[in-house]
Amino acid sequence: MTTEKVGRAYLRGDSRAHVADAHVGKGQRPLTRITIYSLRHPWQASIAIGATIIASVLQLMIPRLLGHAVDQAQGILSTGAEGAQQALLWSALILLGVSVARGFFTLAQNYYSEAVGHQVGYELRLAFYDKVQRLSYSYHDKVHTGDLITMGLLDLDGVRMFFSTGLVRTVLLAVLIGVGAFMLLSTDWLLGLLALSFVPFVAWRSSVAQLTLRATWVTLQDKLSAMTRVMEENLGGIRVVRAFSAQKFELDKFDRASKEALELSHDRVNIRVRNTSAMTFSFFTAMGLVLWFGGNKVIAGDMSVGTLASFLTFMTILQMPVRQLGLMVNSFARASTCGDRLFAFLDEPLAIADVPGVPDLKVTKGTLKFENVHFTYPGANHPTLDGVSFEAVAGQTVGIVGAPGSGKSTLAHLIPRFYDVSSGKITIDGQDVGQVSLQSLRRSVAVVQQDSFLFTTTIENNIAYGDPWSKETKIEKAAESAQLHNYIMGLPSGYETIVGERGVSLSGGQRQRLSIARSLVLKPAVMVFDDSTAAIDAGTEHRIRSAMRRYASNRVTLIISHRLSSLMHADMILFLDDGRIVERGSHEELLAKGGRYSALYDLQTRPSEDLEIGSAAQ
């Protein structure tokens, strides 16, 4: 077993055992829920909050110490006493020690508050990714990939930063204002009130800013999502863009989306700057009043210079938190909005999920049965499948044909429960597929789709994706059956060849054959080929079919194709029209009926005659 394969197996392990409970605080407001997440790391959060409180108290000691030192210095100037000089030296050393201690606890506050934020981000990132993996096809049908990428990056980051930029800053400001207010009012109630006079104005402007920023952040998220969608589509279809020389059109489209987001970002900056400036102005106004009235008290001899200095120093200490109050308000607004979107996603109910306590699927005979199955896509008015019933036993090959939109692929997606039937029942060996565990069901049912997605890794890893512990001989046999082994062995690195993004280094037929080999590794009880040989030439398809006979001998095989040569060998062929089986039988039986299958066969085998008829009609 190679190291790479072991790593692949590790990565494919059940990560949900390590994923944080995504429903922590479900039903509560987003800020409360983020706080609960943060407190799941009690010792780190406690150190961060404790260090914040200690650093704030030490910071509040500095004005008192500085005022005391000023009075001592004034005493030295007045009397020149040597003892006062010694006291001043000790005051300076104490002030230095308190400042160093405050810096140490501020460092601890910043470190551990960031640590909590990153832990929360890590847990939510895993929960988000886990949710993406488990959401049903119906959810991904209606949500754009760009929106999910934006949510997993920007929204999650807004939630992650709330502890350090919101909660911790709130504690810091609360201690500075609360304890500082008590110290100031107990010293001089008039100057204390003047020093704190800016607080009501700041609280009012903060509330206004929070509401405004919250509304604009929702709009900005929509603009960024739109920009991400444009980028994601452009990157996905870059070859089409280049083929049609549409670079200028795509650039203009991205430029429009980017400008809309930029303009809204400027509006948000203006809101934040205006409010921060107004709050800072109120702060300096309060400081000017303290200086005026305090100076008069000093002149009148009612207050010492040191006491006034301590008031002014306290005001200076509050200057930075006041300047950061706008950032704190923005943090609350952003976390609330981002939390709304992120937690709504994490709380999204799963349309396809295991019923608690369901058993694993036990495959014995391998009989697949559809019993009066109806299915309608969410939001659709017309059923896609209407009363479909058939039975296939192990060793049988069932061909499914019909016009586009007749329900062929939908039928294939219902067997592994990519969607749940609207009514009726699908069973394997008498077991309802809706009453067995999804993991066991999807290991027993393999669907090879026309659109073959490959990962940017080695060919070996791509083939072994469903069973990472597969031995090399098993992988090679699957590739041989898919008529891909000889091509792989001709590559310089063989099975260790890296497949480019989305498999672009392989042809369409090679990607489909690799996708077939990936399914063959699982040895499922039911194999469904959903037009999976459309890009493969007839000769290679015939060799694949011949090689797969040993696989098909003990399992049900469903082949969905528009090309009748791909399924005319099937034991039973179902002709679907508008979600119903309108004809069934073997190739010879359907030809003998002279119905729709026979007409389609004539159309595909004698196209030249149709062309002649069409030319004569003109």
Say yes or no to pLDDT of 559 above 80: yes
Instruction: Over range 59-66, report the average pLDDT.
Output: 84
Report the C-alpha gap between 234 and 605 in whole angstroms: 40
Average pLDDT over residues 573-585: 92
Long-range contacts of 542-549 (CB under 8 A, 24+ apart): 543/483, 544/481, 544/482, 544/483, 544/513, 544/516, 545/569, 547/480, 547/481, 547/482, 547/483, 548/481, 548/520
Give, in order, the Cα–Cα distances in Å from 222 to each of 213, 295, 330, 458: 14, 54, 18, 37
Tokens of 587: 């190739």
CB 364 within 8 A of CB 248: no
pLDDT in tens, 177-221: 888 888 888 888 888 888 888 878 887 787 777 777 777 777 887
Q: Please give the Cα distance from 567 to 590 (Å, whole number).
A: 13
Helix (H) or strand (E) holding 427: strand 423-428
State the pLDDT at residue 534.
Answer: 60
More confident residue, 438 or 551: 438
Query: What's the chain's Rg over C-alpha atoms?
Result: 36
Does this model's pTM top 0.75? no
Q: Are 430 and 604 in contact (CB under 8 A)?
A: no
Please state the rounded mean pLDDT for residues 480-506: 78
Provide the pLDDT for residue 257.
Answer: 83
Return the beta strands (E) in 478-601 as ranges: 526-530, 556-560, 572-577, 580-585
Q: Which amino acid does the sequence have at 481?
A: S
401 C-beta neighbours (distance < 10 Å), count: 27
* Cβ–Cβ < 8 Å for 102, 62: yes
CATH number of 29-346: 1.20.1560.10
Report which listed range, 20-24, 384-388, 485-489, 511-515, is most confident: 384-388
Overall average pLDDT of the 31-48 stretch: 91
Q: Is the dihedral of CA 424, 429, 435, 437 positive or negative?
A: negative
- pLDDT at 26 (0 to 100): 62
- What's the pLDDT score for residue 326? 66
Helix (H, G, I), strand (E, B) or coil at 537: coil
User: Mean pLDDT across the stretch 49-59?
Assistant: 92
Average pLDDT for residues 328-337, to the nearest whole number? 81
According to DSSP, the residues that pair with 421 across neighbouring strands are: none
Q: Residue ranges per domain, the chain?
A: 29-346, 368-450+523-608
What pLDDT was estimated at residue 618? Answer: 39
Give 456 or 386, the one with higher predicted confidence: 386
- Strand bridging mode 423-428 / 431-432: antiparallel
State the pLDDT confidence band at 574, using cuts at 50, 70 and 90: very high
Q: Other C-beta atoms within 10 Å of 577: how many? A: 15
Residue 524: predicted pLDDT: 85
- Whole-angstrom Cα distance, residue 333 to residue 315? 27
Residues 6 or more apart whose CB falls under 8 angstroms from that of 557 comprise 396, 397, 398, 526, 527, 528, 529, 548, 551
- pLDDT band for position 370 (cuts 50, 70, 90): very high
More confident residue, 65 or 103: 103
Q: State the pLDDT at residue 612.
A: 46
27: three-class secondary structure by DSSP: coil
Residues with Cβ within 8 Å of residue 111, at least 6 apart in sequence = none
Report the pLDDT value the prediction gives residue 501, as an integer from 0 to 100: 56
As a whole number, the mean pLDDT across the chain is: 81
Q: What is the edge-to-edge ordering of all strands in the sheet holding 445-449?
A: 445-449, 526-530, 556-560, 397-402, 572-577, 580-585
pLDDT at residue 22 in the model? 54
Give yes or no for residue 24 having a pLDDT over 70.
no
Does residue 540 or residue 197 have the better pLDDT?
197
Whole-number pLDDT of residue 301? 82
Whole-number percent of the chain with pLDDT over 90: 20
**What pLDDT score does 49 carry?**
94
- The pLDDT of residue 209 is 77
Phi and psi (nearest 5°) for 381?
-95, -20
- Locate 205 and state its tokens: 């402007």
Helix pair 168-187, 305-346: axis angle to 10 deg: 150
Cα dihedral value 250, 256, 257, 261, nearest 10: 150
Q: What is the pLDDT of residue 17?
A: 41
> Any alpha helices (H) in 135-188, and if so which ranges?
137-142, 145-150, 156-160, 162, 168-187
- What pLDDT shows up at residue 531? 75
Does position 593 have pLDDT exceeding 80, yes or no? Answer: yes
Task: Select the highest-mean-pLDDT range: 300-304, 375-379, 383-387.
Answer: 383-387
Burial class (CB within 10 angstroms; exposed 0-12, middle 13-18, buried 19+) of 142: exposed
Rounded average pLDDT over 72-101: 72
Q: Judging by DSSP bridges, how do beta strands 368-375 and 423-428 pair with one another?
A: antiparallel
Q: Which amino acid is at 170?
A: T
Asked if 384 and 423 touch (Cβ cutoff 8 Å), the reply is no
- Checking if the pLDDT of 11 tops 50, the result is no
Q: Residue 82: CB partners within 8 Å, gap ≥ 6?
A: none
pLDDT, mean of residues 44-53: 94
Q: Which two tokens stand for residue 173?
A: 């400001």
Structure tokens at 288: 């000017």
Confirm if 460 and 3 have CB atoms less than 8 A apart: no
User: Is pLDDT at 84 greater than 80 in this prediction?
Assistant: no
Q: What's the fold here for domain 368-450+523-608?
A: Rossmann fold (3.40.50)
- Return the C-alpha torsion angle 249, 254, 260, 266, nearest 10: -130
Look at 57-61, 429-433, 534-538 and tell me which has the smallest mean pLDDT: 534-538
- pLDDT the model gives residue 9: 40
- Output the pLDDT for position 76: 63
Instruction: Identify the burial level of 540 via C-beta atoms within 10 angstroms of its C-beta, where 0-12 means exposed, 13-18 middle and 19 or more buried.
Output: middle
What would the two tokens of residue 204 be? 């009012």
The pLDDT score that the predictor gives to residue 425 is: 92
Tokens of 209: 């800013």
Distance CA 406, CA 387 (A): 13
Which whole number is the average pLDDT over 162-181? 86
**Given pLDDT bands bounded at 50, 70 and 90, which one contains residue 165?**
confident
Instruction: Round to whole Å and give the CA distance between 409 and 560.
Output: 8
Q: Is the torsion defined by CA of 441, 443, 445, 451 positive or negative?
A: positive
Give the pLDDT score at 3: 39
% of the chain with per-residue pLDDT over 70: 86
**Regarding predicted confidence, which is higher, 373 or 18?**
373
Residue with more model confidence, 547 or 563 = 563
Q: How far apart are CA 367 and CA 429, in angstroms?
A: 5
pLDDT, one tens digit per residue, over 256-298 is: 888 888 888 888 888 888 887 888 888 888 888 888 888 888 8
